[in-house]
Amino acid sequence: MIDSHAHLTVKKYRKDLDAVLSRARKAGVSAVVNVGFDVDSSADGVRLARDRSDVFAAVGVHPHDAATVDDYVLSYLEELAGDAKVVAIGEIGLDFYRDLSPRRVQEEVFVKQLALAERVGLPVIIHDRDAHRRVMEILKGEKVSRGVMHCFSGDMGLARQALDLGLHISFAGPITYNGAGAAAIIRKMPPERLLIETDCPYLAPVPFRGKRNEPAYVKYVLERMAQVLGRPVEEIDALTEGNARRLFGLPS
């Protein structure tokens, strides 16, 4: 398994990150993509990835913090993106649910980080909360074709638009408790575009819902996806792992 979206540099793991990562290995997680959400978490993620052969890094600023992004931040992200362990730009996008940065600023910064990904030749990890229409308009306008809609929460119409662009779609813990909607979408997905993730420390799957999440629990997302597809867990494991390795260019 590959956990394609984790936030391991947050305080919640400060005391036991070694144990968290060794539980992940024991559970069968062969690689984790640690995803930045601001400048510090991006830099910390690159350091963590340098130290651990099975951790890779994505660098970027989340829409919540879009208002903090200036030219200096963008050039620093570009410098980080040059590291051999950096495999994506993210997470970037729009969040019109919490609106922690003004929408106009979120959109400008999203476009700038998409342009950065294009310059450095990396795929993007996209956060979209209650902003489906604008996210899609911007992705189409910028002709984005390599990346993933993380923790997908849209409907089949949105999934189709993302697939048409060439994007992957990643599912997280909510598929273990938000039954029917996600299941119907998963069944209609081209298998080669499916990814799994934890988004830890958030969104722990059943049976750990409400607790701190961690990469080892990606197996519950995998098992639910296999159940929804009516396929053996080993098959969906190999499928989603291969998809993640190709998208992020991870060594196999």
Q: How far is CA 35 from CA 48, 89, 234, in A?
A: 11, 8, 26
Nearer to Ni ion, 93 or 216 (CB): 93
Q: Quick check: 139 and 107 in contact, CB under 8 A?
A: no
Q: How far is the CB of 246 from Ni ion (least distance, A)?
A: 21
Binding letters toward Ni ion, positions 192-231, x by CB under 5 A: -------x--------------------------------
Nearer to Ni ion, 210 or 230 (CB): 210
Interaction between residue 95 and Ni ion (CB under 5 A):
no
Residues 6+ apart with CB under 8 A from 137: none
**Paired residues of 24 in beta bridges:** none
Q: Could you tell me which of 220, 217, 219, 167 has the C-alpha nearest to residue 189?
A: 167
Nearer to Ni ion, 126 or 236 (CB): 126
Nearer to Ni ion, 75 or 178 (CB): 178
Q: Which residue is nearest to Ni ion (CB)?
A: 199
**Paired residues of 35 in beta bridges:** 58
Q: How far apart are CA 201 and CA 215, in angstroms?
A: 9
Nearer to Ni ion, 160 or 209 (CB): 209
Q: How far is the CB of 35 from Ni ion (least distance, A)?
A: 5
Q: How far is the CB of 87 from Ni ion (least distance, A)?
A: 15
Q: Could you tell me which of 127, 154, 131 has the C-alpha nearest to residue 60?
A: 127
Q: How far is the CB of 207 from Ni ion (least distance, A)?
A: 22
Q: Quick check: 165 and 139 in contact, CB under 8 A?
A: yes
Binding site for Ni ion (CB under 5 A): 199
